[in-house]
Amino acid sequence: MKRDLRVGLLFALPWILGFCIFLAYPVIASLYYSFTSYSVLRPPKPIGLANYQELAGDSVFHQALGNTLLYVAGAVPLATIVAIALAMLLNTKVRGMSYYRTIFFLPSLVPMVALGTLFLWIFNGDYGLLNEALRTGHIEPPNWLGDPSWSKWTLILISMWGCGQAMVIYLAGLQNVPVSLYEAADLDGAKLWAKTRNVTLPMISPVILFNVIMGIIGALQVFAVPYVMFPGGAPARSTYFIASYLYDNAFQYQRMGYASALGWVMFVITLALTILALKVSERYVHYETD
């Protein structure tokens, strides 16, 4: 028995070491540093709750938090709708469907920095491809990158580019919906929207819940594309998010303690929104065992 235990621990040792070194220690250390004044170059100095008290009155943090929550409120529902619509289209029996599925999934594999550079050209207000297309249709285009009222919506539109991963998960969920339910709906004379609303969406509701929660977590951590497209949160800090503020405090201002406090506040917000999504889902998510 003891020999089996030793053998099992030896096999699990690489994972245990990786977990302790790369996850457990950084989490515990960041919690400790959040109660200190720490510049990395000097030993941390305990200051109690001063970092969190400063956050409460930090106007830049409040603006970054508002920008982040607005981005989550816009990007998550829009990406969810687009991903479900694509999955339903790609669930039909059409010749060459595997190629179409690959085409729609490939954009989600593009690195974030390359993606930000690409969309800088597309959304450029003077000679961007999108604005040139709008001018061709005699539509006066907005200044996507320079107008604070449009900049966040630009990022929300870009968030649809990476919905291919969620689309694949939705597609797997759609293929598990019993065909007999659609046949029964056809016998009752149900149209496409009625079948979607009463059969498809309830049957894939657990998949929708999973993707929405993952989308919330990912949207709260948005960093690379805004950092490339809108340096410093320009224009007028309208694209300055919590992750960007955390990065600046940690690596530009050398305020690692304050950045750690930001990280833990971000964690609490993520946890709260996840719990809220789980609570709301109790009325709308249906499992096979229900």
- Sequence-ordered alpha helix ranges (H) in 123-255: 129-136, 148-158, 164-174, 179-187, 192-195, 201-203, 205-220, 224-229, 242-247
Question: What is the pTM assigned to this prediction?
Answer: 0.92
Report, in this order, helix, strand and coil percent for the chain, each rounded to 5.
Answer: 75, 0, 25
The span from the CA of 246 to the CA of 30, in Å, is: 13
Q: What is the mean pLDDT of residues 126-132?
A: 88
Residue among 23, 37, 68 nearest 223 (CA)? 68
The span from the CA of 213 to the CA of 83, in Å, is: 14
**Tens of pLDDT, residues 228-262:** 999 989 899 999 999 999 999 999 999 999 999 99
Q: Is the dihedral of CA 278, 282, 286, 290 positive or negative?
A: positive
How crowded is residue 279: how many other Cβ atoms within 10 Å of its Cβ? 9
Predicted local distance difference test score (pLDDT) of residue 192 = 87
Predicted local distance difference test score (pLDDT) of residue 76 = 96
Longest dimension (CA), the chain: 79
Q: Is the pLDDT of residue 16 over 90?
A: yes
Residue among 216, 174, 220 nearest 65 (CA)? 220
DSSP state of 22: I
Q: Is the pLDDT of residue 93 over 90?
A: no
Predicted local distance difference test score (pLDDT) of residue 290 = 55
Predicted local distance difference test score (pLDDT) of residue 56 = 94
Q: Among 1.10.3720.10, 3.40.640.10, 1.10.510.10, 3.40.50.1370, what is the CATH number of 57-281?
A: 1.10.3720.10
Q: Is the pLDDT of residue 188 over 90?
A: no
**Tens of pLDDT, residues 216-234:** 999 999 999 999 999 989 8
